[in-house]
């Protein structure tokens, strides 16, 4: 019987010195892996309890079509999500197609003409630019600014923390919502921890008690023991083809928080007066539930993959964020390369380690919603699923790749070995 090492050598052409390098890195990160496993365990118990409390049964796996009236599976899913997130209500629907879509629902659900939105984390990532609008965006497309919503941004402090003093100073009588972006997006900075978010919310509420705090929770679910709604967020949103879908949900997104706010989001998704009463689950209830059940374990695999990637790329002389032994609040790992060619080689190599489309070679292209060309490795079972291993980067200086996901830690490990070997062959690195 072939050993794992022999399979890597004979089937994937990985040299022994690359295998040894990975083994050395794994020794270095052993304690970090144990921390991840403790978080996985606590989140698994939390999800199990919510499913048991709501008497989850196989009858809830059945779906509906058409209007979706009386979908008890869908309604049970939303009760389970509400309990997991310590919230009053949840909207968990296949009709929400992405994180950007879920975030947009929250913004349009709450904000009205002359209300003010403040982004506490500077400029949001690229796909929200057209949602917010502005002088440099297309007008008359239904952006928030088209509808008379006022908008401010508070740049982050050096080091990626929220500038609390400037944020509090910017809040006015017209301020209706403060938006917090948990994950770094395409920024080379640390993401915000739950404790960061907690401290910010407390100060905002002390300043203006009725101000709505909305957290973009994409990439962050189950990476820590608590969620933003546990620490005072009024509303959170995310995608089911990221963390909480566990790699099984084929589509969908969620909005969770205060009952009235979730109701308004449902009105925006469907129609005023109808809201949560409609929305067929289209026979994917079981996949949403099974994915949720597995999500702590899957997120744990993704975190372990990010940790080993961080460690080994740092060993090879690259700037990484976060460092392998820093606290993590999302599944995103950033690596900064010296040249465009190194960046492209790395991302193309990640594609080669994929279970799907490993033979495809990604190239930079004009991706909708982005100002620069983007290269993306995404050989997954579900199109665009960021909980599956993917790597992408805007083609602009400094050349930074953002790697996230990994249903299997061993796939991340293999993809990393392929990338290192290809970069050695091209003369970018030596070991």
Instruction: Say if residue 271 is in the same domain as residue 373.
Output: no
CA distance 226 to 231: 8
Whether 83 and 142 share a structural domain: yes
- The confidence score (pLDDT) of residue 137 equals 57
pLDDT profile of the chain (431 residues), mean per 10: 91 97 97 98 98 98 96 98 98 97 98 98 88 74 94 94 97 97 90 97 97 98 98 98 98 98 98 96 97 98 98 97 96 97 97 96 85 91 95 94 97 98 96 87
Dist CA 201 CA 64 (whole Å): 39
Strand-by-strand arrangement of the 235-239 sheet: 89-93, 253-257, 235-239, 212-216, 175-181, 116-119, 150-153
Same domain, 278 and 297: no
Query: Which segments within 217-327 are labelled E, that is strand?
Result: 235-239, 253-257, 319-321
- Please tell me the pTM assigned to this model: 0.95
Q: What is the pLDDT of residue 370?
A: 74
In a domain, 51, yes or no: no
pLDDT, residue 185, reads: 80
One domain, residues 299 and 258? no
Report yes or no: 229 and 47 within 8 Å, Cβ to Cβ: no
Do 225 and 92 have their domain in common?
yes
Alpha carbons 32 and 314: distance in angstroms, whole number? 16
Q: Which residue has the tokens 């609008």?
A: 133
- Is 318 inside a domain boundary? yes
The C-alpha atoms of residue 329 and residue 303 are separated, in whole angstroms, by 10
Domain that holds residue 379: 4-45+293-426
How confident is the model at residue 187, as a pLDDT? 86
Would residue 50 count as lying in a domain? no
Give residue-wise pLDDT tens across range 248-299. Answer: 999 999 999 999 999 999 999 999 999 999 999 999 999 999 999 999 999 9
Number of structural domains the chain divides into? 2
Q: Are 330 and 303 in contact (CB under 8 A)?
A: no
Taking Cα atoms as reference points, which of 341, 346, 354 lies closest to residue 312? 346
Are 125 and 220 contained in the same domain? yes
pLDDT of residue 420: 98
Specify the CATH number for the domain of residue 333.
Answer: 3.90.1150.60
pLDDT at 136: 61
Q: What is the pLDDT of residue 369?
A: 65
pLDDT number for residue 431: 87
The closest of 116, 117, 113 to 103, measured between CA atoms, is: 117
Same-domain pairing of 140 and 255: yes
Q: What is the biggest distance separating any 2 CA atoms in the chain, rounded to whole angstroms?
A: 71
Same domain, yes or no: 297 and 269: no
Q: What is the pLDDT of residue 138?
A: 58
Q: How far is CA 254 from CA 77, 100, 284, 349, 412, in A?
A: 11, 11, 15, 33, 27
Q: Are residues 268 and 140 in the same domain?
A: yes
Give the model's pLDDT for residue 367: 79
288: in domain: no
- Token duo for residue 253: 């997104």
Within this chain, do residues 110 and 166 fall inside the same structural domain, yes or no? Answer: yes
């Amino acid at each position: 019987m072939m050993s794992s090492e022999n399979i890597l050598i004979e089937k994937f052409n990985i040299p022994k010195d690359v295998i040894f390098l990975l083994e050395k890195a794994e020794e270095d990160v052993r304690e970090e892996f144990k921390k991840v496993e403790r978080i996985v365990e606590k989140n698994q118990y939390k999800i199990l309890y919510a499913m048991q409390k709501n008497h989850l049964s196989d009858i809830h796996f059945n779906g509906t079509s058409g209007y979706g009236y009386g979908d008890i599976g869908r309604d049970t899913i939303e009760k389970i999500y509400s309990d997991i997130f310590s919230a009053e209500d949840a909207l968990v629907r296949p009709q929400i197609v992405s994180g950007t879509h879920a975030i947009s629902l929250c913004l349009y659900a709450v904000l009205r003409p002359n209300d003010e939105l403040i982004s506490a984390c500077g400029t949001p990532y690229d796909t929200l630019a057209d949602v917010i609008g502005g002088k440099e965006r297309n007008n008359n497309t239904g952006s928030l600014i088209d509808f008379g919503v006022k908008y401010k941004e508070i740049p982050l402090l050096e080091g990626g923390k929220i500038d609390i003093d400037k944020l509090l100073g910017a809040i006015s009588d017209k301020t209706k919502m403060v938006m917090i972006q948990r994950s770094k997006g395409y920024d080379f900075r640390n993401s915000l921890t739950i404790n960061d978010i907690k401290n910010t919310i407390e100060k905002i509420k002390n300043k203006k008690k009725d101000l709505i705090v909305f957290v973009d929770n994409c990439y962050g679910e189950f990476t820590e023991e608590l969620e933003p709604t546990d620490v005072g967020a009024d509303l959170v949103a995310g995608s089911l083809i990221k963390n909480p879908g566990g790699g099984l949900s084929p589509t969908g997104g969620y909005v969770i928080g205060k009952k009235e706010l979730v109701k308004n989001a449902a009105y925006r998704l469907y129609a005023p007066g109808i809201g949560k009463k409609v929305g067929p689950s289209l026979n994917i209830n079981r996949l949403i539930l099974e994915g949720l059940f597995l999500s702590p374990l899957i997120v744990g695999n993704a975190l372990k993959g990010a940790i080993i990637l961080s460690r080994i790329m740092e060993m090879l002389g690259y700037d990484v964020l976060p460092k392998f032994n820093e606290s993590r609040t999302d599944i995103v790992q950033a690596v900064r390369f010296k040249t465009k060619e190194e960046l492209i080689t790395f991302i193309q190599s990640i594609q080669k380690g994929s279970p799907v489309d490993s033979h495809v070679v990604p190239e930079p292209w004009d991706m909708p919603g982005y100002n620069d060309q983007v290269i993306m490795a995404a050989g997954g079972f579900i199109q665009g699923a960021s909980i599956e291993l993917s790597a992408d980067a805007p083609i602009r200086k400094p050349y930074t790749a953002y790697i996230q996901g990994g249903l299997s830690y061993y796939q991340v490990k293999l993809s990393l070995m392929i990338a290192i070997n290809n970069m050695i062959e091209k003369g970018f690195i030596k070991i």
